[in-house]
Structure formats: structure tokens, C-alpha cells
Chains A and B, each alone.
Chain A
Amino acid sequence: MTAPLEEPATARRVEVRKTYKLFVGGAFPRSESGRSYVVQDTAGRFLANASAASRKDARNAVQAARKAFAGWSSRTPYNRGQVLYRVAEVLEGRRAQFIDEVQRSEGVGRRQARALVNLTVDRLVWYAGWADKIGQVVGGTNPVAGPYLNFSVPEPTGVVAVLAPSGSSLLGLVSVLAPVIVTGNTVVVASSHQRPLPAITFSEVLATSDVPGGVVNVLTGPLGDTAPTLASHLDVNAVDLIGLVGDAERATELEQSAADNLKRVLRAPVREPDWARDPGLERMTAFLETKTVWHPIGV
């Protein structure tokens, strides 16, 4: 029997800090620009140097998301549901880490941080269950006036760019991310500029929970560099502007850019929603297309 390990009593342990990088195509690269920026907690204390993603990083992320789309969108809904549930499982196991991270990023108390993390796990479980049900709720057969079988099914829009909520760094992030991917879209997320760290730590959860590389890509850094590239990119099919609450001018500019290839645009509301509320279907249906198939009936 070995003796219990004893840490030296002399000094506080020097912690091993994490390098926060981007999450693109299933890997964690630094920004190709080599730039980073200082992330502080709400009291102004240094937390980390996060990667400042460039326009080129944004394009790389779109490329990765496009590459992943065919595979992810053709998974069975049951399978996508299991993958999302797996994300919830892995997140559950790392709750303590996320409670710390949310507390530091958002400046909330321990009890509040715990509630936010718990809600995040539950939100993932909620969306995981939608994978194989949304099609029945928003699709169906249509009674047409003729000898035809006619049915409508929802299909993913494609590559979706999400400007993540600026305030709610984990619950808000997951509440906008999960509804996009559960239906088969792939996504590029520009995380909260001020509070990017939970997004990167959450990427580690994604990377270890069967989500194929490229399905979710996470950028950190000033939105001024990444958002215009994402909104105008011709291989992006839709954009969620939720991160621009209170910035009507930039939201208008990006919506105008999005018109170049008729991206579906989910506009920013007047204020950031209460993420604890029942999300409804809107964040899923905003990034679904309805396909209607006809076939004659005969003998």
C-alpha cells in the first residue's frame, strides 16, 4: 500500500494556465494573423490572451463548416440527437470547470453561475430530443386536390453564421448554437468579444463528444473583423445577429451585406432575451427550409 500523496506545504501551487485558441475544423489553431487580445473579468483583472480572429480565419471557418455540412446533414436525426445528448453528458462532467469560468467571465456569484451551467446542460438535453421530432411538428403530408402524394419536410439551411450573445457567455451561446446544429446545419460562431473564454472551453467539450470536426467552429476576437466577412460570405446561407443587441447601426450594415446572396437573417431583438425561458421553436425554424415533394398516385 502506498502512502497518500502530500503536496508541499510551503507555497501555493502555481497553476498551469490554458492557452485559449480558436476552434476550426475540429482543431484548435491560433489566429493565422498571430494576433491576440486581452480578456478581463468584469472587475478589469487579466484573465487570458484570447486569439483575435482575422477575416482569413473567418473564411477558413466557413470552409470547414461547408465541408462538414454534407456529412452532418445526412446523419439520421436519431444520431444527431445522440451526439447532442453526448455533448450534454460531457458538459455535465465538467460542470465545476464551467461554473468557475462563467463566474469569472460574467462576474456573477457562485450560486448564479451554477444555475447557469445547470440550465445549459438541460438546454442541450432539451434540444437533443428535438432532433427526431421537429420534422413531425413542422412537416407533414398535405391534402392536395388531385391524385398526388404530397409531403413537406424541414431541411437544414446550410452554413449558419452566429454572432453569439454578448452578455450570456455560456447559456446564451449554447441556446443559440444547439438549435442551429440539431437540425443538421453547420455553424461558425463569433463568440462574445468581451466574454469569449467559456466558448472556447465549450469547444473542448464539443471536440471530445462525437461532434464531427467542422460542424461547430468558434472564433474569438473583435466582431469588426469577423462579422462583416461572415455576413457577406457567399458560402454562408444564414446569419443570426443576436450578438448585436443594442448596435442597430452594425446590425443594419450586416443585414444589407447578407442580402447579396439572400441569407436568411435572424435579427437582433431590442434587448438580450432571458435565456432561462422556454426557447420555443423559432431558433430552429429560422434555419430550416421546407421541401415539398409531389408524386402521382396510381396503380
Chain B
Amino acid sequence: MAQPFDYAPAPESRSVVDIRSSYGLFIGGEFVDPVAGRSFKTLNPATEEVLAEVSDADDADVDRAVGAARRAFTRVWSRMSGRDRSKYLFRIARVLQERGRELAVLESIDNGKPIKESRDVDVPLAAQWFFYYAGWADKLDYALPGRPGPPRPLGVAGQVIPWNFPLLMLAWKIAPALACGNTVVLKPAETTPLTALLFAEICQQADLPAGVVNIVTGAGATGRALVAHEDVDKVAFTGSTDVGKSIARAVAGTRKKVTLELGGKGANIVFDDAPLDEAVEGVVNGIFFNQGQVCCAGSRLLVQESVADDVLDRLKHRMATLRVGDPLDKNTDVGAINSAEQLTRIRELSASGDSEGAERWSPPCDLPAHGFWFPPTIFTGVSQAHRIAREEIFGPVLSVLTFRTPGEAVDKANNTPFGLSVGVWSDKGSRIMGAAGRLRAGVVWANTFNRFDPGSPFGGYQESGYGREGGRHGLAAYLR
């Protein structure tokens, strides 16, 4: 049978973005060259095209940035009224909206995510995050009850963010920190520095006082230098659980406050009374949104045995309609994997699924010849002991397990050292509330998945980290 529709290419224009050939570090309100003069390249993961040379900050650069942040904290930002801080944050929110298209295209080019996601999720949410926390800056006295005195900022925050939502994670980190009166040194991920560097220009456009936001680019060594810097009062990290543990060790014995938002192995539980098409849509969103490179991804499907065959059929049917390819194409559902390194990890863990006896399935799809790609994939016949049921793959790979009773579903969902997110699909209210109460995870999405909002606290139990981002809970991390 012929395809009823054939999609013509619908690429978003790149002309809105102006990528420079090289970028300095953003310290004290201006772009400066790194002390040692080293740099690295950032690629377009969909094509492997080199996008720009980016500065590699070393200890001396981090020291300069922390110094600039300290001066800005002492002389300007901590003395400014909450009302004025608030107005700067509102300005930033507005500039993010004004330059939304540019940010979305740049994000998709540097990260590989589909333009429809960067345009409809990452950028609008980033703007909303600033708008939300802007309103808190002059209301901090009302935020957190039962504290010994008026809320005060901590000082300089060292923030290290991942490559999966580069601009959005920047917003999650910077907006509450600034609202509370802290200044920041932020290190974006080495594979996705460009929207953070564009954000630096946005700070200039907003006339944010120099040194309140500093952006240092680099890899792991830069992040370690920032976390270890003696004049950093607060460390905020989003990324892998392994790095999170090393940060927790590094700050032991110091007075630094820490929040960690780490990995997950979230389950999507589909009960037999669930609206199955909606559930399948949620499962697809849960694992293929952002190529599954999401800490709260629903990377395990727990489906009730009585509907397992039906759900799998519908899931495969739906997966066959996913369009994988050019991130800038407005019809693309699944974009590129962010880096060669990440692709290697996804391949390695998927291969363990094969060798441990699970059955792999992917819809037929033509992957581009260049760039980093992995097809949407599910594994069936997965046991709880399999690596693909235990370890975070951080890719478009779903492990399918079954259960018979609600109790078994909850036990299996909880059988992980993580505890970030869970999805529950059922038409029965008492079943949803019962499961939601027993699931040990920071976010429970019932009959929905991957919803985010600045007013909604987000963060994990157990080895998914500690502290919450979002809502008034997110303020606690930046106040003493």
C-alpha cells in the first residue's frame, strides 16, 4: 500500500543565527580570552560540521570568573533591592522571548534536538522560568516558613549543567540564583556551549550588572575547578550520577551548599484499564522526547500482562510513524544523538541487551549518513536483572517489562537505586493515587509524562540526587 502522505522537507532557516568563528569566556560582563589560550570545537551532531571554536577555561580562568562574581555579589547584587533584581530578571525573560526563534535554531544546531522541541519546549520554558523567579525576587520573605531570620543569599554559586537541555538547564540554574541575590559562574556542557554564550549577550542587552552572570566554557576539568574553588558558596549540578557522587565527595567537609539533579531509570506503568492510545502516546513521549536523552525519561515500560500484546502492537505502530532526521526540519520527531561519545554508550548498552537475551526491535528508518544517530528502539523480554533495565542509557531505547498486580508494578518501578520520575496510566482514580503514594520518585506523572513548569518542584529521591528545582522549594537551595 502506498504511503497516504509523503512529507516534503520543511527546514527551519538557519539565517536567524549568527554563529561566530570563535568565542571567549564571559567574565565580568565582557567576553575575554582564556589565560592559557586553549580552545575546543563544538560540532553540529546532525552533520559533524564544526560550528565554532570555544574557549577552554582552566583554573586561572575559573578563578577570574569567581572573583568577578564575588565582586558583583559584594558591591552590587546583594545590595540591590529585590524589586530591582526582579526587573532585571523580567528583562531577561522578555529578551529570551524576543530572540526565541534564534535561540531555538541555535539550540537545535548545537544539540541535535528537533526544532519543534527547542521551539515549543526548551525556549518558552526557559523564558517562563525567568518570568516566574523574577516575581519571587521581592517576595522572598514569604517563601519559606520557619526560618530563623530574614532570607539571605549564599554568595557565589558555581553551576554545572548538561548538554540535553542547554538553555533550559541554564534557566533552571540562573533564574532562582539571581532572584535570591546570588551571583553565578555557570559552566555549560562542552558539546553544547552556544546558547549559553548567546545568553551572555542577552545579559549585556538587559544591562545586567557586570559579573552577576559569568559563563566559563570547558570540559570536566573546568567543572571540577569550579566546584572546588574556595570562594564558591553553593554548587548546583545537573548531570550523571557518577559525577554527582564525585561532587558530593569534593564538597565534603566544606560549608558549600549543594543540589544535585542526577540520573534516572523512570518507569511508565500502564494498567489494563488505561486509555491505551493515550498511554502509548505518553510512552513514546517518555522515551523518544529529546532522543531519550532526558534524566527523567520513562526508559522502562511496565505494562500489565493482560494488555501487554495490545500495547506493544500499538507502540510499534506508533513508532513506525516517527520521523527521524534533520533536527531543523519542522516535521522531525527524533533528532540526532548529541555526541559520538554518547552514541557509543547507547550502542554499548543496547548490545548488552542483545547479549543478555532481550529482543530488540526498531521500525524501519533511514538514518543520515553523517552525524550521530540511533533509531528508536525497544527491547522486549527484559528482566529486572538486565543492564538495560538497571542502568541509565540516556538514549531512545525502551526496556519493556510486564506485571500482573498493582503491587508488583510498584515494586518493580521502585526496584532501582534512582528515584526521579514515574508515569502511571489508569482510568481509576484510587489506583492512580495509591500507586503515586507508594512510588519512591520525585515526580509522578499520572496520565501524562514529561511535563515541566517553573512552579512545579523537580528533583529526585535516592541516587537521583538531592534538592529541588522549581517552585518555592527551588528557592531554598539559594538562601541561608
A-side residues, CB < 8 A to B, are 137-138, 142-146, 148, 150, 152, 155, 157-158, 237, 248, 251-253, 255-256, 258-262, 264-265, 280-282, 289-296
Contacts and interface: CB of A to CB of B under 8 A. Distances in A.
B421 to A, nearest CB: 10
Nearest to B439: A291
A259 B253 CA distance: 12
A290 B245 CA distance: 21
Interface in B440-465: 440-448, 451, 453, 455-459, 461-463, 465
Contacts of B456: 142, 144, 150, 152, 292, 294
A237 B462 contact: yes
B37 interface: no
A265 to B, nearest CB: 8
B458 to A, nearest CB: 7
A145 B471 CA distance: 13
B451 A294 contact: yes
Nearest to B255: A267
Given A145-B128, A252-B252, A262-B245, A289 B458 contact: no
A20 B245 CA distance: 39
B248 A259 contact: yes
B448 A290 contact: no
Given A144-B455, A255-B253, A256-B249, A290 B462 contact: no
B253 A251 contact: yes
B443 A261 contact: no
B147 A290 contact: no
Contact of B253 (A137, A155, A248): A248
Given A152-B457, A289-B461, A262 B253 contact: no
- B: contact size bracket: 35 or more
B457 A137 contact: no
Contact of A262 (B444, B446, B465): B465
Name the residue in B128, B436, B451, B459 with the highest tally of chain A Cβ atoms < 10 Å from its Cβ. Answer: B451
Contacts of A255: 248, 252-253
B248 A293 contact: no
A280 B471 contact: no
B440 to A, nearest CB: 8
Given A262-B244, A262-B248, 6 more contacts: A145-B453, A150-B453, A237-B462, A290-B468, A293-B436, A296-B448
A292 B241 contact: no
28 contacts: A142-B453, A142-B455, A142-B471, A144-B453, A144-B456, A146-B453, A150-B453, A150-B455, A152-B456, A152-B473, A248-B253, A253-B252, A255-B248, A258-B252, A259-B245, A261-B417, A262-B245, A262-B466, A264-B466, A265-B252, A290-B473, A291-B443, A291-B444, A292-B442, A292-B443, A292-B457, A292-B458, A294-B456
B145 interface: yes
Interface in B246-262: 246, 248-249, 252-253, 260, 262
B439 to A, nearest CB: 8
Contact of A260 (B245, B262, B443): B245
Name the residue in B260, B262, B455, B456 with the highest tally of chain A Cβ atoms < 10 Å from its Cβ. Answer: B456
Given A237-B462, A262-B245, A262-B463, A295 B453 contact: no
B146 interface: yes
A289 to B, nearest CB: 5
B462 A262 contact: yes
Given A145-B128, A259-B252, A294 B448 contact: yes
Nearest to B433: A293
B179 interface: no
A256 B453 CA distance: 34
A138 B146 CA distance: 10
A137 B145 CA distance: 7
A153 B244 CA distance: 25
B146 A281 contact: yes
A174 to B, nearest CB: 19
Nearest to A251: B253
B432 interface: yes
Counting from the closest, the 5 A-B pairs by CB-CB distance are A252-B253, A255-B252, A259-B248, A281-B146, A144-B453
A256 B146 CA distance: 30
Given A292-B444, A295-B432, A148 B252 contact: no
Nearest to B417: A261
Name the residue in A143, A157, A248, A262 with the highest tally of chain B Cβ atoms < 10 Å from its Cβ. Answer: A262
B198 to A, nearest CB: 24
Contacts of B432: 295
Given A143-B455, A289-B442, A289-B461, A295 B252 contact: no
B148 interface: yes
B179 to A, nearest CB: 17
A289 B460 CA distance: 8
Contacts of A146: 451, 453
B262 A290 contact: no
B277 to A, nearest CB: 14
B64 to A, nearest CB: 28
A294 B253 contact: no
Contacts of B245: 259-260, 262
A265 B258 CA distance: 10
A138 B145 CA distance: 8
Nearest to B248: A259
A295 B253 contact: no
Interface in B229-250: 241, 244-246, 248-249
A277 to B, nearest CB: 9
Contacts of B146: 137, 280-282
B82 to A, nearest CB: 21
Contacts of A260: 245
Contacts of B436: 291, 293
Name the residue in A152, A252, A294 with the highest tally of chain B Cβ atoms < 10 Å from its Cβ. Answer: A294
Nearest to A281: B146
B289 to A, nearest CB: 15
B466 A258 contact: no
Contacts of B442: 289-292
Contacts of B246: 259
Contacts of A290: 442, 457, 459, 468, 473
Nearest to A145: B453
